[in-house]
């Protein structure tokens, strides 16, 4: 179970199986179906990596499983639990493992781009292929109370809406590597600051439409750039860029999920690759 649990932990760039087990437990406390979807997705992805003999180091670190894990959770949040959903999760795990390996060979981190593609594909083709919308499980979103917001944003990166569980995840992350924990908190706080100041520039801006997404994407962007050891200025710039992309996505009425995080990190990595 080391590889699959590490894959779950990699949603937050953590290769620790213990962190993955904690995250799985938080998903179960949020809704047992989310934990089941996560396990099925990461199991399909990890099984594919094992059957095709992907590099052992990558399998142990969970690098081929985190998109399958997150896709399993996201699909369970969006769609009703039925046989079609189980098939979608398994196929998503297999496909994301194959594409993760292909991107690794190209030397480019997939981040959660494959999860975004799975969610878009399910929205486009799911109803025709047996999926039924789960209207009762809509995400509550994050309010703007400072303390609650930052930990809600951290938890919502994996569809965990309770701030207390977000605090628990952050504490475990900081316990493993405190600089990453500090930057994770800073990413969420950066989103809160930008959103709090936004009405001064754009009084009519619909902050409610981007509050949760901005927090999630800024948190992941700053954490991701910290893991890739980019300068603090680039980390902050990436976080701000992800928030701006969330606003653009909301204006276009796009289900952007974690795409702003992916694009912002890719942009900074591309600009700083030679440095």
Domains and CATH numbers, the chain: 2-129 (1.10.3430.10), 146-272 (1.10.3430.10)
List the one residue out of 207, 206, 211, 272 whose CA is nearest residue 238.
272
What pLDDT sits at residue 141?
A: 81
What pLDDT sits at residue 134?
A: 80
Intra-chain end-to-end CA distance of the chain, in Å:
38
Tokens 């289900």 found at: 255
What pLDDT sits at residue 209?
A: 72
What pLDDT sits at residue 233?
A: 97
Which residues, other chains included, contact 211 with Cβ-Cβ below 8 Å and sequence gap of 6+? Answer: 141, 142, 143, 144, 149, 195
Count of C-beta atoms within a 10 Å radius of residue 271: 13
Angle formed at CA 160 by CA 117 and CA 118, multiple of 5 degrees:
10
pLDDT string in tens for the chain (275-residue length): 889 999 999 999 999 999 999 999 999 999 999 999 999 999 999 999 999 999 999 999 999 999 999 999 999 999 999 999 999 999 999 999 999 999 999 999 999 999 999 999 999 999 999 999 986 555 568 888 888 999 999 999 999 989 999 999 999 999 999 999 999 999 999 999 999 988 776 666 667 779 999 999 999 999 999 999 999 999 999 999 999 999 999 989 999 999 999 999 999 999 998 65
Contact 218, 188 (CB under 8 A): yes
- What tokens does 44 get? 């399909």
Q: State the number of CA atoms in the 13 A half-sphere of 58 facing the CB.
A: 22
Distance CA 96, CA 256 (A): 18
What pLDDT sits at residue 147?
A: 86
């Amino acid at each position: 179970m080391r590889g699959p649990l590490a894959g779950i932990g990699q949603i937050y760039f953590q290769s620790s199986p213990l962190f993955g087990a904690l995250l799985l437990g938080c998903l179960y406390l949020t809704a047992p179906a989310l934990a089941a979807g996560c396990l099925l997705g990461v199991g399909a992805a990890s099984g594919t990596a094992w059957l095709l003999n992907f590099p052992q180091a990558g399998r142990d670190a969970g690098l081929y499983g985190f998109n399958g894990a997150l896709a399993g959770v996201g699909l369970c949040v969006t769609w009703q639990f039925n046989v079609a959903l189980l098939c979608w999760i398994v196929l998503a795990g297999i496909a994301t493992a194959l594409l993760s390996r292909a991107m690794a060979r190209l030397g480019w981190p997939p981040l959660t781009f494959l999860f975004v593609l799975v969610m878009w594909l399910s929205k486009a083709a799911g109803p025709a292929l047996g999926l039924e919308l789960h209207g009762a499980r809509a995400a509550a979103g994050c309010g703007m109370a400072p303390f609650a917001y930052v930990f809600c944003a951290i938890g919502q990166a994996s569809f965990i809406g309770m701030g207390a569980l977000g605090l628990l995840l952050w504490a475990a992350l900081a316990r493993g590597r405190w600089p990453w924990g500090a930057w994770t908190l800073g990413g969420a706080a950066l989103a809160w600051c930008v959103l709090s100041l936004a009405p001064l520039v754009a009084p009519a801006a619909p902050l409610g439409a981007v509050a949760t997404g901005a927090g999630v994407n800024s948190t992941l962007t700053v954490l991701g750039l910290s893991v890739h050891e980019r300068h603090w200025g680039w980390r902050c710039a990436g976080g701000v860029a992800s928030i701006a992309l969330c606003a653009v996505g909301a204006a276009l009425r796009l289900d952007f999920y974690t795409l702003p995080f992916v694009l912002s990190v890719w942009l900074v990595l591309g600009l700083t690759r030679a440095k």
